[in-house]
A and B are shown apart, each in its own frame.
Chain A
Amino acid sequence: MTGAEVPAACRLGRAMDSIVELIAAHKSFRTVEALRGVDLAIHSGELVAVLGPNGAGKTTAISLMLGLRRPTRGRALLFGLDPTDRRARSRCGVMLQESGVMGALQVRELVRLFSSYYPRPMPVERAIALAGLEEQARTRADRLSGGQRQRLYYALAVCGDPELLFLDEPTVGMDVESRRAFLDSIRNFAASGRTIVLTTHYLEEADELAQRVVVIDRGRVLADASPTEIKARVPGRRVSFDCEPAPPAAALSGLPVQGLEVRGSHVRFLTNRAEEVLAELFRRGTAIRNLEVVGADLEEAFLALTNHAQSSRPTLSVEPGLAHTSEVTA
Chain B
Amino acid sequence: MSTLATDRPLDVAPIPRMVAAQIRAVLTFYWRVPAIAVFSIALPLMFFLFFGLGFGHQAIGHGFTVADQLMAQLAAYATGSVFVFNIGIGQANRRAQKLDLLQRATPLPGWVAILAEIVGGLVLALIAVLCLFIFATLAGGVRLDPATYGELLLRVLLGGLPLLGLGLAIGYGGGPNAAPALASLIYLPLSFASGMWIPIQELPKFMQKISPYLPTYHYTQLVVAPFGQSQEMLWHAAAWLAGWGVVLLAVAIRLYRLDSQRKFS
Contacts and interface: CB of A to CB of B under 8 A. Distances in A.
Interface of A: 8-9, 11-12, 16-19, 21, 23, 41, 44, 66, 68-70, 77, 79-81, 86-92, 94, 96, 98-105, 109-110, 112-119, 140, 153, 156, 160, 166
Contact of A100 (B24, B29, B99): B99
A116 B18 contact: yes
Contacts of B97: 100, 103
Interface in B71-121: 94, 97-99, 101-102, 104-109
13 contacts: A9-B6, A11-B7, A70-B265, A79-B4, A80-B5, A87-B11, A90-B12, A94-B106, A100-B97, A109-B28, A112-B21, A117-B108, A118-B13
Query: Would you list the 5 A-B pairs with minimal beta carbon distance, nearest first?
Result: A116-B21, A100-B97, A99-B102, A9-B5, A104-B32
B59 to A, nearest CB: 46
Nearest to B6: A8
Given A8-B5, A105-B28, A69 B10 contact: no
B22 A94 contact: no
Given A21-B1, A105-B25, A118 B107 contact: yes
Given A110-B25, A156-B102, 20 more contacts: A8-B6, A8-B8, A17-B5, A21-B1, A68-B101, A79-B4, A79-B6, A86-B109, A87-B10, A90-B13, A94-B105, A99-B99, A105-B28, A114-B106, A116-B13, A116-B17, A117-B13, A117-B108, A140-B32, A153-B102
Contacts of B107: 86, 89-90, 117-118, 160
B201 interface: no
A167 B12 CA distance: 22
A186 B141 CA distance: 65
A18 B11 CA distance: 19
Contacts of A16: 3, 5
Interface string B234-265: 00000000000000000000000000000011
Contact of B18 (A77, A94, A117): A117
A89 B5 contact: no
A19 B22 contact: no
Interface residues of B, number: 37
B33 interface: yes
A44 B5 contact: yes
Nearest to B16: A116
Which of B6, B21, B94, B109 is packed against the most chain A CB atoms within 10 Å?
Answer: B6
A57 B59 CA distance: 71
A119 B8 CA distance: 13
A105 B29 CA distance: 6
Contacts of A101: 99, 102
A114 B107 CA distance: 10
A79 B7 CA distance: 12
A44 B3 CA distance: 12
A297 to B, nearest CB: 25
Contacts of A92: 105
Which of B5, B21, B109 is packed against the most chain A CB atoms within 10 Å?
Answer: B5
Contacts of A116: 13, 17-18, 20-22
Contacts of B6: 8-9, 79
Given A94-B102, A113-B25, A12 B5 contact: yes
A119 B13 contact: yes
B5 A100 contact: no
Contacts of B33: 104
Contacts of B10: 79, 81, 87-88, 90-91
Nearest to A109: B28
Nearest to A102: B29
A84 B206 CA distance: 52
A31 B25 CA distance: 40
Nearest to A112: B21
Nearest to B19: A116
A21 B2 contact: yes
Which of B2, B7, B11, B32 is packed against the most chain A CB atoms within 10 Å?
Answer: B2
Contacts of B98: 98-100
Contact of B265 (A19, A69, A90, A98): A69
A92 B10 CA distance: 12
Contact of A80 (B4, B13, B24, B25): B4
B28 to A, nearest CB: 6
Contacts of A114: 106
B5 A18 contact: yes
A320 to B, nearest CB: 40
Contacts of B18: 116-117
A114 B4 CA distance: 25
Which of B21, B28, B99, B106 is packed against the most chain A CB atoms within 10 Å?
Answer: B106
